[in-house]
Structure 1
Amino acid sequence: MLFAAGFGTRMGALTADTPKPLLPVAGRPLLDHALDLTHGLSPRVVNAHYRAEQVVRHLAGTDVHVSVEAPEILDTGGGLKRALPLLGPGPVFTLNTDAVWSGPNPLDILRAAWSPDQMDALLLCVPLTRAVGRKGGGDFSLTDGHLAWQGDAVYTGAQIVKTARLAQVEEDAFSLHRLWNEALTAGRFCGVTYPGTWCDVGHPEGIRLAEDMLRHSAT
């Protein structure tokens, strides 16, 4: 599941006519950078709300499903719940589309660390020192593979999460933080550290920083 429904307000004028996932970085839309990471996975679903018709048009003719959220945007939890008929049962990868990576495929790191008997959610994090373009501090502390709120570990927007509990949520729009907090209470909220570098492309400066990072990694 690739999250691409947001308004991209931090991008300012850049998203006045274009949804953030279609903004170019190093000559290619952010969404395509994210889709590259999901090669070989099926089914693949992208959600869309703001300028959804552009996302639908961009993906026409591919094997990627688009879950259009209308009339209201559904947030991460609601968006994932809406997409479940397309995704099928079982745990899913979710991936934000406003980041660029330098290093191994983040989904491979998650797959290797996933232990469904011990985890309800496994988040991929990166230390602040390797979070290019990050504004502000970290999101979590990571101790012996378990996450807790507040710390210097930055959530990269990539995770594996079990989805069975989504059916119990009555609201249409809600954050995945609800599932995370349930997993935390149960001692099943886990994390793994990404060994490469990650760039936040949620703000205009992030585009230049991501392109610099990619050029450096190619040399």
Structure 2
Amino acid sequence: MIHSPQAVMLFAAGFGTRMGALTQDRPKPLIHVSGRPLIDYTLDLVHALKPTRIVANTHYLPDQIEAHLQPQGVTISTELPTILETGGGLKAALPLLGPGPVFTGNTDAIWRGPNPFRLVQQVWQPDRMDALLVCVPIAEAMGHGGHGDFIPNEDGRLTRGPGWIYGGVQIIKTDRLAEIPDRVFSLNRLWDLMLEDKRLFGLPYPGKWCDVGNPQGIGLAQSLLNATNV
């Protein structure tokens, strides 16, 4: 049985509707931030791990993302005719990802500080965890509204509620995806199963994080990348 993640799943299929006109002719992962496609910042973090496989899902304007990612060693999981959301997208990509737990990463955030994939790799304990999420305390988050997604207890176990924001990077076991019969569903469905068993964990990110979910987030992300003292 494989206990340590060997593969990475990147979520790149969304419509990016909050970006307005910026995503009329290109998918959100290819919007430029400080002169580079947004997804390339996540790819830098992933390539540093030297994983055996990197898979990205696509749906909206998939040809553009495929042309950008395939030369960088990324395998494409195309979702047509229906976008499958995060849980359905991960389930559909399992034949490409292989067995065992996987890293997953959103492609619409900028991290300034330690590599979040490396952090979660160092803390992962498969005997007691079904998923380990990198979370961001509200005070360290840029470009994100709301009050957070999870409340941690003293040993890192999570419950739903205001406190930490899920930053978009995790290690997660995939075997319980088979318990969800739907084709289209959010990863929240899988997290709920883990919450019931008290096996959903989180760790706080010790740096800065910016959500690039709307046009204002681009400017915030660029200021974070250009800051000399963070």
Same-fold status (TM-score > 0.5) = yes
Evaluate the alpha carbon distance shift between residue 211 and residue 121 of structure 1 in structure 2; reply closer, same or farther with a 3 A threshold: same
1:162 aligns with 2:178: no
TM-fit CA distance, 1:142: 1.1
Instruction: Output one character per residue of 1:123-179: Cα deviation in whole Å (capped at 9) or x when no partner.
Output: 110111100111222111111201111122011011110001112322111111111
SS at match of 1:47: strand
Residue 218 of structure 1, CA deviation: 7.2
Correspondence for 2:11: 3
Mapping of 1:16-165 within 5 angstroms? Answer: 16-39=24-47, 40-144=50-154, 145-165=156-176
> What runs of 5+ residues in structure 2 fail to find an aligned partner?
1-8
- CA distance, structure 2, for counterparts of residue 132 and residue 215 of structure 1: 14
One-letter identity of the residue aligned with 2:123? A
Q: Which amino acid aligns with 2:76?
A: V
Taking structure 1 as the reference length, the TM-score comes to: 0.97
Is residue 181 of structure 1 aligned with residue 192 of structure 2? yes
- Partners of 1:217 and 1:199 lie apart in 2 by 16
State whether structure 2 residue 184 is matched by structure 1 residue 198: no
Q: Which residue of 2 aligns with 1:209?
A: 220
Note if contact 2:70-2:76 (Cα within 8 Å) is conserved in structure 1. Answer: no
Q: From the superposition, tell whether residues 186 and 43 of structure 1 become closer, same or farther in structure 2 (CA, over 3 Å).
A: same
1:164-196: CA deviations, max 9, x gaps?
111232211111111101111101010001100
Give 5+ residue unaligned stretches, structure 1.
Answer: none
Aligned to 2:4: none
Identity of aligned residues (%): 55
- Indicate if the aligned counterparts of 2:11 and 2:104 stay in contact, CA closer than 8 A: yes
- SS of 1:94's equivalent in the other structure is strand
Query: What's the secondary structure of 2:167's corresponding residue?
Result: strand
SS at match of 1:60: helix
Cα distance in 1 between the residues matched to 2:229 and 2:70: 31
User: Is 1:125–1:153's contact at 8 Å kept on the other side of the alignment?
Assistant: yes
- Once superposed, which parts of structure 1, at least 4 consecutive aligned residues long, lie more than 4 Å away? none
Distance 1:91 1:217 in 2: 36
Residues 139, 87 of structure 1: alpha-carbon distance in 2 compared, 3 angstrom cutoff: same
Q: Tell whether the 8 Å contact from 2:151 to 2:161 is kept in structure 1 after alignment.
A: yes
For 2:164, give the aligned amino acid: A
The 1-side partners of 2:70 and 2:173 are apart by 29
| Higher mean displacement: 162-171 or 119-128 | 162-171
Q: Is the 8 A contact 1:102 1:217 kept in 2?
A: no
